[in-house]
């Protein structure tokens, strides 16, 4: 509303135009009630002058209301109108417990960390398939997929890697709160980055799984030729190859999966057994 900038002449003209409409309405109503044309014209004639004057005063009073005061007034009415529709995080109509009961299991985050080519994506996909077959609600957050979308603006500097982890952890937390078993497949090369993810997601929901494979084995598996390009300097900031981009072996992983010595079927069975122990379902089946 910009009444403060409205001229007195404009307010007067608006008053007159409105009163023409109002007077016609008054004449019509007066005639219906009295049935007398003269009385109707008398009522309308007196009313037109009094209402123009009152409308003009009304407009000028509103024009003195400052924009700041008007905004405060709007805020007050908004609060009064919507105060019964504001909920705190503890007052959602559908909460995490409700979703977990519907899914028949708790939500959590399985965070797979390891070198490029160690087998994280393969494990994530096979695990998701097995969970689906056993009627678990699950979702994969794959590093390559995220970097083609929500993290497309990030490169591979230390700060960008950290932001990549932070964003992914925030998304994983949302999925876990929705009652999903969320499988994150991300190199996550530093202890600092893993600690950040654990802090965001929460100790109870965060399960760190180290997918172990030697650098030599990862290079041997590399069908995309990423390691070769990194060694030639074509790819910069490549974990395990580029200077200053080493991989820090996790010291607090819940499980270590040795992909050089164990086939994928046994690895998935190992993970499922772990999940069934840490993410029970029986308490939600009653």
Lowest mean pLDDT among 23-27, 157-161, 224-228, 280-284: 280-284
Q: What is the rounded CA–CA span in Å between residue 159 and residue 138? A: 29
Query: For all residues of the chain together, what is the average pLDDT?
Result: 83
pTM (predicted TM-score): 0.67
pLDDT value of position 178: 92
Among 193, 203, 144, 202, which residue's Cα sits nearest to residue 174? 202
Contact 107, 284 (CB under 8 A): no
What does the domain layout of the chain look like in residue ranges? 3-85, 96-284
Q: What is the mean pLDDT of residues 50-68?
A: 69
Which residue intervals of the chain are DSSP H helices?
A: 8-34, 37-63, 67-82, 96-103, 120-133, 143-147, 158-177, 191-201, 215-221, 226-231, 264-278
Token pair listed for 62: 């509103």
pLDDT in tens, 237-250: 899 888 888 899 99
Coil vs helix vs strand at 178: coil
- pLDDT score of 84 more than 60: no
Q: What DSSP state is assigned to residue 89?
A: G
268-272 long-range contacts, CB within 8 A, separation 24+:
268/123, 268/126, 268/127, 268/130, 271/110, 271/123, 271/127, 271/209, 272/127, 272/130, 272/131, 272/134
Sign (positive/negative) of CA torsion 110, 115, 117, 119?
negative
pLDDT value of position 201: 97
Give domain 96-284's CATH superfamily.
Answer: P-loop containing nucleotide triphosphate hydrolases (3.40.50.300)
Coil vs helix vs strand at 185: strand
Q: What is the rounded CA–CA span in Å between residue 184 and residue 73? A: 48
């Amino acid at each position: 509303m910009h009444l403060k900038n409205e001229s007195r002449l404009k307010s007067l003209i608006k008053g007159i135009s409105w009163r023409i409409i109002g007077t016609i309405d008054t004449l019509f109503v007066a005639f219906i009630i009295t049935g007398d044309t003269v009385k109707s014209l008398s009522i309308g004639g007196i009313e037109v002058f009094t209402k123009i004057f009152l409308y003009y005063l009304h407009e000028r009073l509103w024009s003195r209301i400052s924009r700041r005061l008007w905004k405060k007034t709007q805020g007050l009415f908004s609060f009064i109108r919507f105060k019964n529709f504001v909920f705190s995080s503890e007052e959602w109509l559908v909460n995490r417990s409700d979703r977990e009961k519907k899914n028949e299991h708790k939500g959590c985050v399985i965070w797979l960390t390891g070198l490029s080519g160690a087998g994280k994506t393969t494990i994530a996909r096979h695990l998701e398939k097995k969970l689906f077959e056993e009627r678990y609600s699950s979702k994969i957050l794959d590093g390559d997929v995220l970097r083609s979308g929500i993290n497309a603006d990030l490169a591979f500097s230390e700060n960008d890697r950290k932001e990549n982890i932070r964003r992914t952890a925030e998304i994983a937390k949302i999925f876990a709160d929705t009652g999903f078993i969320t499988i994150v497949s991300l190199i996550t090369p530093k202890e600092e980055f893993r600690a950040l993810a654990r802090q965001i997601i929460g100790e109870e929901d965060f399960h760190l799984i180290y997918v172990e494979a030697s650098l030599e084995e990862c290079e041997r598996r590399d069908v995309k030729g990423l390691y070769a390009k990194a060694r030639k300097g074509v790819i910069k900031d490549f974990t395990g190859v580029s200077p200053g981009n080493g991989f820090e072996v996790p010291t607090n992983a819940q499980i270590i999966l040795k992909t050089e010595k164990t086939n994928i079927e046994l690895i998935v069975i190992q993970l499922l057994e772990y999940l069934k122990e840490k993410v029970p379902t029986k308490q939600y089946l009653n």
